[in-house]
Amino acid sequence: MEFDFVIVGAGSAGCAVAARLSENGKYTVALVEAGEKDRSPWIHIPIGYFKTMGNPKVDWAYKTEPDPGLNGRSLNWPRGKVLGGSSSINGLLYVRGQAQDYDNWRQMGNEGWGWDDVLPCFRRAETWEGGESAVRGGSGPLSVSKTRLSRRPIDAFIEAAQQAGYPYNDDYNGENQEGVGYFQMTAKDGRRCSAAQAYLKPARGRENLTILTGLITKEVLIENDRAVGIVARGGDGDQIVRARREVILSAGAIGSPQILMLSGIGPADNLLANGISVKKALKGVGQNLQDHLQARPVFKCRSSTINTETNSLWKQALIGIEYALKRTGPMTMAASLGTGYLKTRAELETPDIQFHLQPFSTDKVGTGTHPFNAFTASVLQMRPESAGHLELRSNRIDDHPVIHPNYLSTPLDQQTIVEGIRVARRIARFSPAKEEIIEEYAPGAAVDDEDYDALLDWARNTSTTIYHPTGTCKMGKDDRAVVDPRLRVHGVDGLRVADCSIMPVIVSGNTNAPAMMIGERVSDFILEDAA
């Protein structure tokens, strides 16, 4: 099999790249996905992330090493293994980040990545339910909508935040991110709009686009310092898929560096230790790993929440009937309803913490909800200083990399997560939240607000990922950079990386929307260079 372009990974970025490179009909494009087609109905029902995360049929189900910053705990790191990638199993939340994030990338030497450069890509990608504007798109493939669900405890918390002095923001993806409001979601008419639905479904009839599923990429073929194709394993054994022009890795912040290293591109010591000959020594591959860590304060409340609305088969059946007939109700719910982008310190130019307000609660994500009504005011630091790394476990693609997140390893990160918890508690003391809340369930009254060490220890013992690994093939020009500003791998011709691994610094918010933007942006570069 031979094509002009071979794209590895049909996730958020890869789907965008495949659609854009194939739309003019000039080039042949292969999109190679390790997972299968997105047939499961749970992928297309918004609430389906409760069923898909942790399911090895559609989730790579990575797991971190015990992390000192979490008092030795390991975390599950779900990543999509299906057409659409993580956009097919995520919480549907659409967040671009701050303009300053991208201007900072440009100031780091990455020309073409400032806010003025990436905004056209965000606009081109989306159709925003609120209407087209100078900053929002109105005719893109990705449907972005307002939440179709409300619950009184979340409304009360958002109203209380305003009483506490925080502004209301009707569109955090607009001119200014700061404030409290409601999440936007990648959905249309009560159904998930994954990258596969947005980009691949309209493109599937193109003769020049070939979508190959169930093929696990083992390595990139390198000849004379040039990528000429890939070796992928399917049901019939290994296959070679050759690329006349370029190979684009869009396998994600874990998959892309793993494939590079298995191909002989990465830190020489780790490659040699695993019996891999070094074709290009790039010590930054797998380094600069960043993620968002969420602390999860929980408040028992008086009004109904998902906890008790789904605690019987009869109630679940009624919810299912409502969804089937009306496309409304809890089954249309994104992972969170309300949000907030706030500052923990007055001197900050932009918000440094983000809230995910959820009308349900649990002691541990994935273990079922509490038997009482409660909501969660999850809070995270948007720009952590802490950075970890990943490295090969072996020279086999089936052996997941060793993942060291290195959470909460700097004083600023520790201070910010503690202050985030304090902000959640402070808001809860204002009306109408204080009338709605019966008591704080976690951390609970036993953890005093003035006891910094106790709050930090609670965060270490209970915080979890919010599924935003980034940075492991970072863009730049320094000695730790893996790709240049046009996402070409340093020292290897015909090879690019295009996914969240290229972020030099994690963005201030969720990463799905930026992943699709990266796919849009690199498509511009590839088409310009091919002309």
- Point out the residues that are catalytic: 468
- For residues 407 and 225, what is the distance between their CA atoms, to the nearest angstrom? 36
Residue among 404, 401, 428, 337 nearest 146 (CA): 337
The C-alpha atoms of residue 510 and residue 323 are separated, in whole angstroms, by: 27
List, in order, residues 6 or more apart from 37 with CB less than 8 Å away: 82, 83, 213
Contacts of 314 (CB under 8 A, 6+ apart): none
Cα end-to-end span (Å), the chain: 23
Closest CA to 219 of 176, 181, 265: 265
d(CA 332, CA 148): 7
- CA–CA dist 113, 103 (Å, integer): 7
Which helix (H) or strand (E) element contains residue 353?
Answer: strand 353-358
Distance CA 242, CA 247 (A): 9
Please list, in sequence order, all residues whose beta carbon lies within 8 angstroms of the beta carbon of residue 134, skipping any fewer than 6 positions away. Answer: none
Q: Strands (DSSP E) along 48-94, which ranges? A: 62-63, 76-77
d(CA 173, CA 524): 23
Q: Is the peptide bond before 443 cis (omega within 30 degrees of 0)?
A: yes
Q: What is the Rg, in whole angstroms, of the alpha carbon atoms belonging to the chain?
A: 22
Give the single-character DSSP code of 236: T
Q: What's the rounded Cα separation, in Å, for the pair 375 and 338? A: 11
Q: What is the DSSP string of 298-352?
A: EEEESS--HHHHTSSHHHHHHHHHHHHHHS-SGGG--S-SEEEEE-SSTT-SS--
Three-state SS at 106: helix
